[in-house]
Every structure is written in C-alpha cells, then in structure tokens.
Amino acid sequence: MAHQFIQVEREGPLTLITLNRADVLNALHPPAHHELAEVFDVFASDPQQWVAIVTGSGLRAFCAGNDLKFRATHGRQSMPETGFAGLTSRFDLDKPVIAAVNGLALGGGFELALACDLVVADEHAQFGLPEVTVGAAAMAGGLHRLPRLIGVQAAMGLALTGRRIGAREAFALGCVNEVSPAGAAMDVARRWAQQILQAAPLAVRAAKQVMLRGLYETTLRIAMANQDNYPAVSTMRASEDYLEGPRAFADGRVPGWRAR
C-alpha cells in the first residue's frame, strides 16, 4: 500500500511506522490521521506482525502535534474514530507499540507517545502539552493518560502551563522507559522490540490486556477476579504455546512459538 504522509516497513514480525512530514516537524493533519488509522488497522489484523515502532522523519521532531496552519486554512475536518494518529482512541489493540521519540513530542505528538506502550527518547527530545497557549486543551487522551502515569500534581504542572520538559525529566517522572544517546532512539527502540519478540506473542498480548483493563477495575480484588475472563488470556491459555514454554524450559532449549 502506497502512503503519502507516512512510511511503513516490515522487518519480519516488526512493523516500522515513520511520520513523514519533516517540513512541518511531522505535525499531523486529517489526511495523515486517516492514513495512520489504516496502517494500525492492518497491523492489528495481521497475524504475522507482533510489535510496532513509531518514529518521526528528520532530526528535529517525533511529532509536533496538530498541523495548526493546515487547520487555519482548511477548517475542521473529520478525524478517524481511533483518534490522533489513528492510535490515541484505539483501545482494543493488544499488540505492543513502541514510540521512538527522536525530537520534539508536543501536543498531539506527546499524546501519541503516551498512547504507546513503551517510550524511548533521544537525549535531546522534548515533551509538552502546549495546547493551553493556543486556546485549546489536550483532548486526544493526554489529560487522562498523563495523570494516571505520573500523578495528578506533576501532570497539572505540565498541562496548565504548557511548559516543555526534556527527556531526562520525562524519564524521572515516569513517562519514558529509556533515554537514548543522540540519534540512537530508533536503535534502542529496536532493542526493546527484539526483547519482546523473543517472548510468546499471545502471552505478551495477554499481559498488556490484563494490565490495561485491570487499571480500570474498581479494586485489586476485582481486577484479579476478572482477569481470567479477558479474551487475550483465554486465547493464551488455549494455545499450543502455553505448553511449549514449559517444555522448552524443561528441555533447556529456545521455545518455538507457533501462535500468531
């Protein structure tokens, strides 16, 4: 499939998605959102694709958020149901997505990173929700995900001021998994992806589903009581891989995962 605003590559079970609007710091407009929604639809449904990495083209930005100049000249346009970049309102994706933040991650760009499961940030990366400085609010999930991730007080400090933070501060707050050397965010993200790809794919999806769904149960007791009913858990336990793991461990060999 040809894409105008993004690049998509596949390396075995790994999908690489690059926002390709470097001339506007990879800011996204509705046509790009719809392209990304289609790409994530394909990734979600393809049994051969297990992990995705999202990054930005060029050296300056991961994603600078909404393309406000496009909006100023074209007015309001439709967004996909799955949200900013086709991901921020996608709540049924159990496959892991990694953000390789290679520069600015502002507004929707920060919200895109927050919607990913792991975040690797270049040491020069910057994060922020500057929407309040242009008369708006971060409505693509940032105002909900950020306080859940770093706490209400720290999130308020960012959301109400629009200030930017660097990669090291983002790591200290808990919204970045690892800070990479300059220019190495993609390499570090690949390393994380390869570690995930060594695990059983259905078990990885079950772990993600249990963790995210459990956060919205009212108590820990209820979360643990309900986890056996989650679809990804049932699929994992019914799979051949659920038996292959212990067999491989007992035999002292590398498991051969069959389920996709």
pLDDT of residue 71: 79
Could you say which of 9, 35, 81, 111 is catalytic?
A: 111
Q: How far apart are CA 237 and CA 235, in angstroms?
A: 6
86 has a pLDDT exceeding 70: yes
CB 71 within 8 A of CB 93: no
3-class DSSP assignment, residue 46: coil
Q: How confident is the model at residue 77 (pLDDT cuts 50, 70, 90)?
A: confident
248 token code pair: 């491989």
**Crossing angle of the two packed helices 241-251 and 201-214, in degrees rounded to 10:** 120
259 has a pLDDT exceeding 80: no
Mean per-residue pLDDT over the chain, rounded: 95
Could you say which of 35, 38, 123, 131 is catalytic?
A: 131
Q: How confident is the model at residue 258 (pLDDT cuts 50, 70, 90)?
A: confident
Classify domain 6-197 at the CATH topology level: 2-enoyl-CoA Hydratase; Chain A, domain 1 (3.90.226)
- Number of C-beta neighbours around residue 228 at 10 A: 10
Task: Quote the distance between the C-alpha of residue 210 and its chain's center.
Answer: 17
CB 65 within 8 A of CB 59: no
Q: Is 111 a catalytic residue?
A: yes
The residue ranking higher by pLDDT, 50 or 75, is 50
Q: How far apart are CA 88 and CA 179, in angstroms?
A: 23
H or E element at residue 191: helix 185-197
Domain ranges of the chain: 6-197, 201-251
Q: How confident is the model at residue 68 (pLDDT cuts 50, 70, 90)?
A: confident
Q: How confident is the model at residue 1 (pLDDT cuts 50, 70, 90)?
A: low
Looking at residues 112-131, what average pLDDT do you find? 97
For the chain, the helix, strand and coil percentages under 3-state DSSP, each to the nearest 5? 45, 15, 35
pLDDT of residue 194: 97
117 has a pLDDT exceeding 70: yes
HSE of 199, CA atoms in CB hemisphere, 13 A: 17
219 token code pair: 């108590």
Best CA proximity match to 85, nearest among 15, 135, 19: 19
pTM: 0.94
Give 87-122 as a DSSP string.
TTT-----S-EEEEE-SEEETHHHHHHHHSSEEEEE
179 token code pair: 């800070």
Looking at residues 164-173, what average pLDDT do you find? 97
Q: How confident is the model at residue 170 (pLDDT cuts 50, 70, 90)?
A: very high
